[in-house]
Amino acid sequence: MLFGLLALFALVLTAIAVTSLWWMLHAWRTPASLLATGFPTSDTAPQHAFSLIVPARHEQAVLGATLERLAGSHHPRFEVLAVVGDDDPETRAVAEQAGDPAQAQRQAARPRRPVRLPRCRARPLAEHRGMAQRLLRAGIQYAQGFSVNVANRQTTSQSYRWGRELSDLLGRREFVIDTSRNGLGPPPDVPERDDEWCNPRHQALGQAPTTRTSMPGLAALLWIKLPGESDGTCGGETGYLFSPTQARRLTVNSPFVVAEDRQLAAAFDAPAIPGDNADRRVTVSSPNPHTGLATEARRMR
């Protein structure tokens, strides 16, 4: 008798579970089917944004339809991220086509219910993934953030895009950009030379250090590489210490330095600093106290 009651109770619970599951799957199939069920819906707009990450490898046959279906969601605040390896050009081409703004406009113009097509980014992230893995092994999860473009000359916009994409793989960690030498962007690539990145003539001070940035995720612009510090025995330099010649070049070439200060720097006759073994101090002072061009650098070997 007891066994029979337990079996009947189990059958009732199974019927309820199966019916509830069928109702939910049917209701979630399309917005129209949800309305047809008569279930209560909320008029409150979604409060959160989110990202849909779609890893794809050799899936060019189905990726386009998948991204289009995901992009057709009625949620107002989300993005679709297609993660494609740089060794898979066919799948990458399909992802880039799906993320084409012109195609998005054509999709929006189709005669169907209005939808918001979110940004769909397609980019080979192998390099970013490798850097993210190295930072995770180094303990980035215990740090406040990371730095980008240190001692380099990539533009601030290029550095921000790189840092933002890397930040997305690291839980949206904040980052800073070194702008100490990126005022002119990277030096031109000269095929017959291999020293264009070492104390090049094409370099300049970038934006002044600040923590007041308007770009999400960017904590500060900093001069991490000390302006005027030599890259080494190249470009007319004989060591790695502070060089008045490099400091003058950074200042004269910079679009972020006022014209009066650039003229003062151009007129300054930079002295040579012999040897690399001594404690040395170089002071460059402006005769005009209002220009602020007074710099003192001290370096020890």
At 17, phi and psi to the nearest 5? -65, -45
* pLDDT value at 298 more than 80: no
> Position of tokens 């003062």?
264
pTM: predicted TM-score of the whole model, two decimal places: 0.51
Here the tokens at position 45 are 């707009």
**Coarse DSSP helix, strand, coil percentages of the chain, rounded to the nearest 5 percent:** 35, 15, 45
Query: How are beta strands 120-124 and 145-148 bridged, if at all?
Result: unpaired
Q: 114-137: per-residue pLDDT in tens?
A: 333 233 333 435 677 788 888 888
Each domain of the chain, given as residue ranges in start order, spans 50-124, 126-225, 227-301
Percentage above 90 pLDDT, the chain = 27
Q: 213-239: per-residue pLDDT in tens?
A: 989 999 999 999 999 999 988 888 988
Nearest CA-CA partner of 71 in 103, 28, 40: 103
What is each CA distance from 249 to 28, 181, 238, in whole angstroms? Answer: 64, 10, 17
What is each CA distance from 9 to 5, 15, 17, 18, 145, in whole angstroms? Answer: 6, 10, 12, 14, 56
